Amino acid sequence: MSKQDELISKYAADLKVKCGLTADMDLLTKVTKGCGPSIYDKDASTVSASDKEELERVKKNFLVKRLGLAEDSGLDAGLARVIDQYGRTNRNKHRAVFYYLLVKHFRRENAFA
């Protein structure tokens, strides 16, 4: 099993345990691959939900650029919803899982078709 496959399994388990969701493995794999090499870097592989600058980067680079959402389409509310879903007290929010939850929340699965 490759390192990427191990991480995808870990992310699916995270979704199951922390969010109570069964992952769409095809979508989770595509989102994980879309994260690129950041999933292998300890710092870059997680999202700091308490860091306003990081959330702005997620909003600008992922929600607007990657998913094609308009800046005024409830992005902050969507981010807050996903943070609550993943658990505000959960310190280890994996980037791929966080992005997966955003894709599902905004119903933008077609961005990874």
Residue-wise pLDDT for 46-97, tens only, equals 999 999 999 999 999 999 999 999 988 799 999 999 999 999 988 889 999 9
Q: What is the pTM of this model?
A: 0.95
Each residue's pLDDT tens digit, 19-38: 999 999 999 999 999 999 99
Report the distance separating Cα 63 and Cα 72, nearest Å. 11
The type of residue at 99 is: Y
Q: Report which DSSP code applies to 73.
A: S
pLDDT at 91: 84
Averaged pLDDT score across all residues of the chain = 94
Looking at residue 29, its pLDDT comes to 97
Return d(Cα 111, Cα 113) in angstroms, integer. 6
Residues paired with residue 46 on neighbouring β-strands, in sequence order:
94
What pLDDT, on a 0 to 100 scale, did the predictor assign at position 34?
Answer: 95
